Amino acid sequence: MAQVLCHLPKTYDEKLIVGIDTSDDAAVYKINETTALIQTVDFFTPVVDDPYIFGQIAAANSLSDIYAMGGEPKLAMNIVCFPTCLSPDVMAEILRGGYDKINEAGALLVGGHTVEDDEPKYGLSVSGFIHPDKVLTNCNAKHGDFLVLTKPLGIGIINTAIKAQMADDEIYNLAVNNMRTLNKFAKDAMVKVGVNSCTDITGFGLLGHSLEMANGSDVTIMFESSKIPIIKKAAEFAAMGLVPAGAYSNMQFIGEKVKFNEQISQEVIDILFDPQTSGGLLISVSQHKLDKLLEELKESPTEFSVIGKVLKKQEYSIIVE
């Protein structure tokens, strides 16, 4: 997306705090001294067969970009593509799942738009608010910071296994619960503590979104592969070749910017490139606030972990140990 967007003429406005140039999660526009508007849109094709759960996941994913900026989502609009050959009950279930997540987020569903399409797609356009001085961009990680990830990786691989009917109920439920969990808890924790930088991990995988953070912040990011939380069975499925195409395009696009320790297995490398659906927040926090952040995250509904550090800019943007 970023490559296509960069061919468009650049937009400048003194009140535009975050625009399209830094591939951040959402745009931010200053309204006055105490309020800025955050705006984002996201939608995709079903990742699970159950329409209600798909609605929950798609909405949680769309709301996440507001959380990744440190903001509070307020207004949401449905974006729906739907084929005439499917029962309208299916659409109603998708929208009910989305509505429940919008409601859980404390936001309001205020409209939407539907078009006819061969394949169903669903997501939200979301507006949120934040104090203009509190905006968390993806380009302010500081040398010496620690990196915290708030959901485990491997969702794309697990979804591939689910489609191949290789995953049992336990794994399915693990994946679904991770995807539909709002990043609200993690966002509240990081806003309370005060952190330097944040982005959410979605289609470009951990390494793709980290690369945006590293380049935007002019630093090198170092991950300790042994500390990265991985959903049960994801490594096993990856070893069986159940890796989504998106992982390979991520690898092609960013692989040469990453230096891997030779000991790291191919499964783990696949997982680091794996595109995530509604993944967690990657938070860059200064060393003296790390313990406080971990304390705030203690009751987190999802697995979280300190997975790396921010180093001074080096030859490689990302180093995986």
Measured from the CB atom, is 171 or 178 closer to Co ion?
178
- The CB-of-316 to Co ion minimum distance in angstroms stands at 23
Measured from the CB atom, is 24 or 267 closer to Co ion?
24
Residue 109 in contact with residue 13, Cβ under 8 Å? no
- The CB-of-28 to Co ion minimum distance in angstroms stands at 9
Q: 193: part of which helix (H) or strand (E)?
A: helix 184-193
Name 14's bridge partners.
none
**Residues of this chain that bind Co ion (CB under 5 A):** 24-25, 42, 65, 68-69, 138, 199-200
- The CB-of-202 to Co ion minimum distance in angstroms stands at 5
Phi, psi of 309 (to 5 degrees): -140, 160
Measured from the CB atom, is 134 or 227 closer to Co ion?
134
Find the residue with minimal CB distance to Co ion.
25
Strands 108-116 and 72-82 turn out to be: parallel
Measured from the CB atom, is 42 or 270 closer to Co ion?
42
- The CB-of-214 to Co ion minimum distance in angstroms stands at 14
Measured from the CB atom, is 27 or 268 closer to Co ion?
27
- The CB-of-138 to Co ion minimum distance in angstroms stands at 5
Measured from the CB atom, is 138 or 302 closer to Co ion?
138
Burial 176-200 (b: 16+ CB within 10 A, else e): bebbbbbbbbbbebbbebebbbbbb
Q: 320: part of which helix (H) or strand (E)?
A: strand 318-320
How many whole angstroms separate alpha carbon 245 and alpha carbon 157? Answer: 10
How many whole angstroms separate alpha carbon 6 and alpha carbon 236? Answer: 38
How many whole angstroms separate alpha carbon 15 and alpha carbon 23? Answer: 18
